[in-house]
Structure formats: C-alpha cells, structure tokens
Amino acid sequence: MVRERKAIAKKARKILQAAAVEAYGRPGMYVTREPVMRQAKVADLEEFQELAKYLHEKGWIAEADDDYGIFLLTSEGIDEAMR
C-alpha cells in the first residue's frame, strides 16, 4: 500500500511538473491535457485522470472540467512542481 501511494505520488509529480512547464511557471494559467500527457509520458487516459484527481485533491490544480481536459494550475501547484 505504501509503495503504491509513493508510485502514484511520483507519477502525479511528473504531471504537475509538465503542467508547470505548459503554464510557463505561472499560477492561474489554464493548461490542456494532451501536451501535459505527452510531456509527462502518460499514455493512458484513465491513469491521467486518476492522477489529475489526486493533484486536484491536493489543491495543486483547480477548476478542472469533468475529464481534466483543461485545468488551472494553482500557486501551490507551481511551488510543489518547483520543489
């Protein structure tokens, strides 16, 4: 269980970092799913949605549509991506 959570956190972090790049490191910027998936090397849509949900629950992304096709990167998300 602990390994699984660490694996999820690691993959989610890649998505968060890719989103930060797409947002040019600026909070409050909307990003779209496809370039983030490409950059994070996540090919499975369901996996991406689960990881995005995790990021949303952490408060690192916000204002997402139902399938995370577009979402906003929060200032906390930018800070976390840059750690």
CB distance 68 to 48 below 8 Å: yes
Overall number of domains in the chain: 1
The CATH number that applies at residue 20 is 1.10.10
Which 8-state DSSP code applies to residue 42?
-
Q: Is the dihedral of CA 42, 46, 50, 53 positive or negative?
A: positive
Q: What is the pLDDT of residue 12?
A: 94
Instruction: Give the Cα-Cα-Cα angle 6, 34, 5 (nearest 5 degrees).
Output: 10
Query: Residues 12-71: pLDDT tens digits?
Result: 999 999 999 999 999 999 999 999 999 999 999 999 999 999 999 999 999 999 999 999
List the domain range (segments joined by +) for residue 36. 2-82
Q: What is the pTM of this model?
A: 0.90
Are the CB atoms for 55 and 77 separated by under 8 Å? yes
